[in-house]
Amino acid sequence: GRARARRRIGRAMSLAAFARASSFAAERHRTQRRKGGDGRTPYVNHPLRVASLLAEAGVDDSVVLQAAVLHDVLEDCEDTSYADLEERFGQAVASTV
């Protein structure tokens, strides 16, 4: 019924929010590469892997998963501020990052 439909809508909205956060992280980390190995691995693979590990461990909180994929943008991307994150993803995500 309605409760099931609301859950389905909530999951779709969470997925859309995660996709937006992932896209933002990929854009902000676009010129960065992982240290070690051949030096060609895109840096964004790291925050995506962190989010994946959390999801595999059973974390399904949209705020936590968005923050996981965004966790290095403030530290590593000079063109990103706390205000940017808060404006785009809300206070809960920004403060978790």
Indicate which residues carry an active-site annotation: 75-76
CA distance 13 to 69: 16
CA distances from 37 to 5, 30, 49, 70, 77 (A): 46, 18, 17, 23, 22
**C-alpha closest to that of 43 among 32, 59, 58:** 32
Asked if 72 and 42 touch (Cβ cutoff 8 Å), the reply is no
